Structure 1
Amino acid sequence: MSAEAHAFSLVSPVVLLAAAVIAVPIFKKIGLGSVLGYLIAGLIIGPFGFAFFSDPEAIIHVAELGVVMYLFIIGLEMQPSHLWNLRREIFGLGSLQICLAAFGLTGVGLMFGFSWQVSFIGGAGFVLTSTAIVMQLLGDRGDISQPRGQKIVAILLFEDLLIVPLLALVAFMSPIQVVETTADRFKDIGTALVAVAGLIAAGYWLLNPLFRLLAAAKAREVMTAAALLVVLGAALLMQVSGLSMAMGAFLAGVLLSESTFRHQIEADIEPFRGILLGLFFLGVGMSLNLAVVQQNWQLIVSGVVALMLMKSLMIYIVARLTKSNHYDALDRALIMAQGGEFAFVLFAAAASAKVIDATVQSNMTAIVVLSMVLTPILSIAFKRFTVNKDEQSLDGVTVADGLSGSVLVIGFGRFGQVTSQLLLARGVDVTIIDTDINMIQSAEKFGFKIYYGDGTRLDILHASGAETAEAIVVCVDDKDATNKIVDLVQHEFPLSKLLVRAYDREHGLHLVKQNVDFIMRETFESAMRFGEAVLTELGVDERDVAEISDNIRERDRVRFETEVAADDVYAGVGMQYTQRKPRPTAPLVQPQQDAKILNDTSTTTQND
């Protein structure tokens, strides 16, 4: 009997895994994406298909941990400074979109003849976009790190915060009025604030020492357990304080975003995240009640169309008002047109508070689930049948994939072009990647083979042969992108030599802290050579010019190393510029002018 029970208990996970393994590759093969594959598979094996499961809500509750882990991984990619830079998008763009969309969606409910309470609950639930579906679609397209993707992520973060005041509004609207005193409300707010402060404090003072201690123990499985503990513990803390689990996981990720263990933690969490998120989509597919849809199909179908159209229209208007181009605005409108998983929470709370009845809850739930199923289809159709006029075509451009070479050069601008010419002239096996399509096409006319690839993405670095490269040369004209590439290379390809173009002195100091092998400040050496030419044209003897240059270089080198040593991070890394050997001293032709040059150099602190 015991053996039979154990055998039976394996039926559910085997069916779930089989559904995913069969459906997802098929849907991806025909170009419909993994999300739609999960949703349709869930519908087939659910209570309204082959009925392998009778309680899809139980699966969804467990699988919501996939959404939680996804937000944690997104948090790992967002350092506090980057998150601060997104504050306008999170609170400005997010609040504007939500207010306009909620107003329009409530109006749709009123037009259907519902009371203002039911219309507001339906509109407020539908305005909460599905974080799981949108993030998966952005991830499949590689848009999360792009500007348009970052704006969508910012709006999703604000929507996660919105569930708390919406649940409070449901309590106020309840006809059974559970009266809450002002003191109780302040207590709830205080509890939430203390929980957030406690999480931030723990992340700042405890997490890094914890992972250092576990890393020293050299127990990989314990590191994985600790990573899961951090994610689930943060989510639980936010949940018991009345906030969103996903928000707690996101904050934990942000706090660990600058940790030296960031990539290890991400690698440990990724398999759990992927499996649970797939399980979530399966659960959503199962929860589509076909009996309810059949009984009220006219209301549900018209409701899906009306709500998705209205929400898309409001999102498009907001996007255009905030200076997004037509293509990006339309893309955002379609990808965020659905209701989300938090709508189920809101509808359940409203039904418990008697604001809506069970029939309305079932209809609203069916509308949200159908909108979630339709979104991947709309997104795929939009990408297939529209052309982004603001985005260059990749026709005729080779995308980096399966490459190898002794040296990987990232960035083929003015700096990268000169650097690569020396390597190619020596016969070095060089792989070059860049994202400027016009430049790639122009370079090919002159015999250069440049591959299209974004060096800030780990998958592109792998595809470009970073694993086997003896040296990785970063020539990108963007400090943030350079820093991200350096971070990825240091953690993922530590055996490769890393040579980096620094934007200015401050950036050079930052790169020294990263322990790169060689740093070249992009304008310093060329400016020195230019200054030497000016002195030569003025008739200064070549030996005197060389002496002045050597003195300036030496003063700059000493000051640079002093500034680095002040941060206690100097570790004898390569010189930040090419240094000549000092020549014998000689009297200067223009001592006063030369003294002025040296003094001016000593005051330069930030830019070259």
Structure 2
Amino acid sequence: MAAEATAEAASHAAAHGFNLLPVVVLLGAAVVAVPLFKRLGLGSVLGYLAAGLVIGPFGFGVFSDPQSILHVAELGVVMFLFIIGLEMQPSRLWAMRGEIFGLGLAQVGACAALLTCVGLALGYPLVPSFVSGTGFVLTSTAIVMQVLEERRSLALPKGRRIVAILLLEDLAIVPLLALVAFLAPGGNEVTLAERFTGIAIGLGSILALVLAGRYLLDPMFRILGKAKAREVMTAAALFVVLGAALAMQFGGLSMAMGAFLAGVLLSESSFRHQLEADIEPFRGVLLGLFFLGVGMALDLAVIVANWQLIAICVIGYMILKTLAIYAVARLFGANNREAFERAVLMAQGGEFAFVLYAAATTVGILTIEENAILTATIIVSMALTPLMIIAHDRLLPKPQPSMDGVEMAENLSASVLMIGFGRFGQIVSQPLLAAGCSVSLIEADPELIRDSRDFGFKVYYGDGTRLDILHAAGAHDARLIIVAVNDGATAVKITELIKAEFPLVPVLARAIDRENAAELIHVGADFQIRETFESALVMGGQALAMMDVEETERARIIADVRRRDAERLDIELTGGLYDTSARSLILGNLPLKPAIVDATPQLPTAAAGEAAG
């Protein structure tokens, strides 16, 4: 009934002009599903896939031809690769050549050999088994790139290695398609001249794109930049991406590879950031549309009719691919954690498998039914990937930091104990050390301790939330304790513990925001200051100076900002966040107003203006 009603509404809309219903449904499905799935911790990719399944031909039937959407949405992957290319300068890409052609080739070869065994074990001939397994080797660039971006791992060494493998897999589609044509019944009749012609066309396409990027693109953008027409620059950015993709497609290569090469060629251009800003909105929308299309293409009828075979294929392919990726990663020097994470991220089949299976079906290697089963296998594996990543993150123990070269806090004694030696604590320590004060430094990050040692600081390992560590660090003998950790909740916990066990020792605490400052006051901090408050006031004073505001007026404005901020903090303390008895205790024992308003001493008018400005 729902499908019939939707179809009727669509036909009615079409009769009165352009049919907006499919567009609205697509956008609405994404708007509802993606935030919901991210809120549940399942990730945006699974949200898109689920939304596509619901509105597709096997859900409410709003769309009857998901393949048409997939063809358009593949441009999202193309634009994603273009943006990645913008971040890859040629020198950086050249430095990755060993990972691309070494690590990448090793992983593709090992996976292809193992995955071919799945088809053979199920009783299929060698050639269909090889094509089926090799298609699953080609990882989903869209999913892996999206996950790496969400986890902010693209710029890390482990992320770059995954990108290198994906690039090799994109390159591999070309010889694989040629191999499919050769392995087809009668394929060996293809002449040597025809094969060399195909290779020459592909190389010619790459050379033409490189020459165009080297000598034409940057001058073109300079001319357009002088025109000062923003919409023309956006159109030019789209023209470059789609033109490069089309050039590669004409040469029998991957469209995504063409876009990537165009991005690399423009990576050292002065217009790189402008291009990235212009392409980003299109990339995000089309990549989401791609995942929606994949969800729509999941043929539930095929899955129901062949669920046992599909389950065996999904499990067999994913397990063997995971093992192969893990083994190759370890062989190339990755640690256990990185190897396992890479195997989980890349265990699924990818969008290029659809192209390979379609070509194999056209030349008679695969039947139409086998193509449908393999396509469903790929899509199910893509849908399982977010769940595997969630399981990986929850089940794998957190990495334990190395304690090499790190000394534990033990029997320390100094006038000042500082807990936390990050960017804030390092600055606070400098006046104390310059004045000749003895300072004991403890920090819970071993890497930060080792880095501090290189700059001449002796920092001990210690967790300030533990009472035994505080005693070992000399908290009971200190004249002053400074809590400079970079987590607000931890600062409150440490301050509360110190004031309970060492009530006579003054505590100065770093606050993250106003709410955190109120919590620190509540638990007894003798002085608190928000890490950005004073620097923001200095920046504001400098801005006023550059706007030609008089010196005395600048000082008055900054003082007024301090006063109003103190009032807001006072309201936060009395607005029901804490009970009256706690507030009375604070006001009775602490100089609340001076601690807030006079976070830095008030100077005479001229000096105040100079400091603010």
Deviations 1:148-207 (A, max 9, x none): 111110000000000011111111111143833222222221111111111111111111
Q: What is the aligned partner in structure 1 of residue 340 from structure 2?
A: 330
Distance 1:359 1:148 in 2: 39
Q: What is the aligned partner in structure 1 of residue 258 from structure 2?
A: 248
Would you say 1:223 and 2:221 are equivalent positions?
no
Structural mapping, 1:363-512, within 5 Å: 363-389=373-399, 421=430, 436=447, 438=449, 447=482, 449=484
Moved more, 200-209 or 301-310: 200-209
Distance 1:297 1:52 in 2: 25
Structural mapping, 1:112-123, within 5 Å: 112-123=122-133
Amino acid at match of 2:184: S
Q: Is the Cα–Cα contact under 8 Å of residues 39 and 282 in structure 1 kept in the other structure? A: yes
Structural mapping, 1:163-178, within 5 Å: 163-177=173-187
Q: Is the Cα–Cα contact under 8 Å of residues 401 and 446 in structure 2 kept in the other structure? A: no
Q: What is the aligned partner in structure 2 of residue 203 from structure 1?
A: 213
Q: What is the aligned partner in structure 1 of residue 107 from structure 2?
A: 97
Q: Is the Cα–Cα contact under 8 Å of residues 13 and 20 in structure 2 kept in the other structure? A: no
Q: What is the aligned partner in structure 2 of residue 300 from structure 1?
A: 310
Would you say 1:70 and 2:83 are equivalent positions?
no
Q: What is the aligned partner in structure 2 of residue 41 from structure 1?
A: 51
Distance 1:437 1:221 in 2: 47
Distance 2:84 2:431 in 1: 39
Would you say 1:266 and 2:276 are equivalent positions?
yes
Q: What is the aligned partner in structure 2 of residue 276 from structure 1?
A: 286
Deviations 1:239-281 (A, max 9, x none): 0001110000001111111111111110110000000000000
Deviation at residue 381 of structure 1 after TM alignment: 1.4
Q: What is the aligned partner in structure 1 of residue 370 from structure 2?
A: 360
Amino acid at match of 1:262: R
Deviation at residue 418 of structure 1 after TM alignment: 7.8
Change in 2 beyond 3 A, CA 1:240/1:178: farther
Change in 2 beyond 3 A, CA 1:369/1:255: same
Q: Secondary structure at the match of 1:9?
A: coil
Q: What is the aligned partner in structure 2 of residue 152 from structure 1?
A: 162
Would you say 1:30 and 2:31 are equivalent positions?
no
Identity of aligned residues (%): 58
Q: Is the Cα–Cα contact under 8 Å of residues 13 and 19 in structure 2 kept in the other structure? A: no
Q: Secondary structure at the match of 1:265?
A: helix
Amino acid at match of 1:157: L
Q: What is the aligned partner in structure 1 of residue 518 from structure 2?
A: none
Q: Is the Cα–Cα contact under 8 Å of residues 361 and 368 in structure 2 kept in the other structure? A: yes
Deviation at residue 424 of structure 1 after TM alignment: 12
Change in 2 beyond 3 A, CA 1:145/1:178: same
Distance 1:116 1:390 in 2: 46
Amino acid at match of 1:127: V
Would you say 1:60 and 2:76 are equivalent positions?
no
Number of residue-to-residue matches in the alignment: 435
Gaps of 5+ in 2: 1-10, 404-420, 436-444, 453-458, 465-480, 488-530, 540-545, 547-613
Distance 1:423 1:256 in 2: 50
Deviations 1:356-393 (A, max 9, x none): 11111111111000000000110111112212425689
Distance 2:353 2:385 in 1: 16
Deviation at residue 470 of structure 1 after TM alignment: 11
Deviation at residue 215 of structure 1 after TM alignment: 1.2
Give the TM-score normalised by the residue count of structure 2. Answer: 0.66
Q: What is the aligned partner in structure 2 of residue 17 from structure 1?
A: 27
Q: Is the Cα–Cα contact under 8 Å of residues 73 and 250 in structure 1 kept in the other structure? A: yes
Change in 2 beyond 3 A, CA 1:128/1:449: same
Amino acid at match of 2:164: A
1:348 pairs with 328, 344, 358, which one? 358
Would you say 1:136 and 2:146 are equivalent positions?
yes
Q: Is the Cα–Cα contact under 8 Å of residues 303 and 367 in structure 1 kept in the other structure? A: yes
Change in 2 beyond 3 A, CA 1:386/1:173: same
Deviations 1:329-369 (A, max 9, x none): 11111110000000000000000000111111111111000
Deviations 1:289-316 (A, max 9, x none): 1000000110001110111000000000
Q: Is the Cα–Cα contact under 8 Å of residues 392 and 437 in structure 1 kept in the other structure? A: no
Distance 2:142 2:86 in 1: 17
Distance 2:156 2:335 in 1: 14
Q: What is the aligned partner in structure 1 of residue 94 from structure 2?
A: 84
Deviations 1:468-527 (A, max 9, x none): 98999xxxxxxxxxxxxxxxxxxxxxx9xxxxxxxxxxxxxxxxxxxxxxxxxxxxxxxx
Would you say 1:182 and 2:192 are equivalent positions?
yes
Distance 2:15 2:432 in 1: 67
Q: What is the aligned partner in structure 1 of residue 411 from structure 2?
A: none
Would you say 1:321 and 2:331 are equivalent positions?
yes
* CA root-mean-square deviation: 3.2
Would you say 1:309 and 2:319 are equivalent positions?
yes
Amino acid at match of 2:161: K
Distance 2:283 2:75 in 1: 8
Give the TM-score normalised by the residue count of structure 1. Answer: 0.67
Change in 2 beyond 3 A, CA 1:357/1:228: same
Amino acid at match of 2:396: T
Q: Is the Cα–Cα contact under 8 Å of residues 63 and 277 in structure 1 kept in the other structure? A: yes
Moved more, 383-392 or 332-341: 383-392
Q: Secondary structure at the match of 2:59?
A: coil
Change in 2 beyond 3 A, CA 1:437/1:122: farther
Amino acid at match of 2:123: G
